[in-house]
Structure 1
Amino acid sequence: MGRGVFTLEALEADVLIEISPVVVLGEQERILLDQTLLHHYIFEWGDDRKACCVALGYVSIYNHSFESNCEYEMDFESQMIRVKTVRAVAAGEELFINYNGDWND
């Protein structure tokens, strides 16, 4: 079975689920990471998206959906990623983010 993030209780829309600190890696380190299994767990980082980051919370194990129930926001200055719900979520439901950008894109 794969990894994923699930809620134990029902959540309303616009609930902050997680604030995850990140470790930022430069462009050269990203080139190396892209050749490893960690490629699947990193996020592009910075306005030019040449760097990457590793999230230290659960952020790296949220699964992808084009109809996600959560969205993430990158805070480059604070080096954090925030995850919040975009709709009501039932207890036991898996939490998804859209890997391709906006939650509803």
Structure 2
Amino acid sequence: MIEIKISKLSNGEFNRGLFATRDIAKGELIHEAPVIPYPNEDHEFIEKTILSDYVFEYGANHTAVLLGYGSLFNHSYTPNATYDINFKNHTFDFYAHTEINAGDEILINYNGDVDCDDPLWFTETD
């Protein structure tokens, strides 16, 4: 259903993104990414590494590294996918927010809510 390819949106070292290999219906489950949670007070150690760009908030007291394809979704303020945190299964569940055509890059809003247009932490200036 999804594959890693070069993204035109990404300008980092890896330039990767996730793309649909077939049409995906609105509401369809795209991926369940298992998590490795850690306490927020340990985040100071992660901030010293490249992993700090790939972790997600996991409740009020934890942050999580997402396994599988979870940390490879690129950002858009007009995403075609969204995610829910499934604390019971310890996964982030990614769903199609809109119809996604085969070949389209699958994008999420890094702010969590599909309609949140707050500046992202890595684009804010002091």
User: How high is the TM-score relative to the length of structure 1?
Assistant: 0.91
- 1:6 counterpart residue number: 19
More RCO (CA 8 Å, sep 6+):
1
Whole-angstrom distance in 2 between the partners of 1:26 and 1:78: 18
Q: Which residues in structure 2 correspond to 1:1-105 (within 5 Å)?
A: 2-46=15-59, 48=60, 50-105=61-116
Please tell me the root mean square deviation across aligned C-alpha atoms, in Å.
1.2
Paired amino acid for 1:63: N
Whole-angstrom distance in 1 between the partners of 2:68 and 2:84: 14
SS at the partner of 1:99?
coil
Q: Which runs of 5+ in 1 are unaligned?
A: none
SS at the partner of 2:63?
strand
Report which stretch shifted further, 63-72 or 74-83: 74-83
Whole-angstrom distance in 2 between the partners of 1:14 and 1:38: 29
Question: May I ask how many residue pairs the two structures share in their alignment?
Answer: 103
SS at the partner of 1:94?
coil
Paired amino acid for 2:41: Q
Paired amino acid for 1:66: Y
User: How high is the TM-score relative to the length of structure 2?
Assistant: 0.77
Q: What is the CA-CA distance between 1:51 and the residue it aligns to?
A: 1.8
Whole-angstrom distance in 1 between the partners of 2:24 and 2:62: 33
Whole-angstrom distance in 2 between the partners of 1:30 and 1:74: 19
Identity %, equivalent residues: 32
Whole-angstrom distance in 1 between the partners of 2:48 and 2:109: 23
Query: Deviating runs (4+, > 6 A) in structure 1?
Result: none
Paired amino acid for 1:24: P
Paired amino acid for 1:62: F
Q: What is the CA-CA distance between 1:27 and the residue it aligns to?
A: 1.8
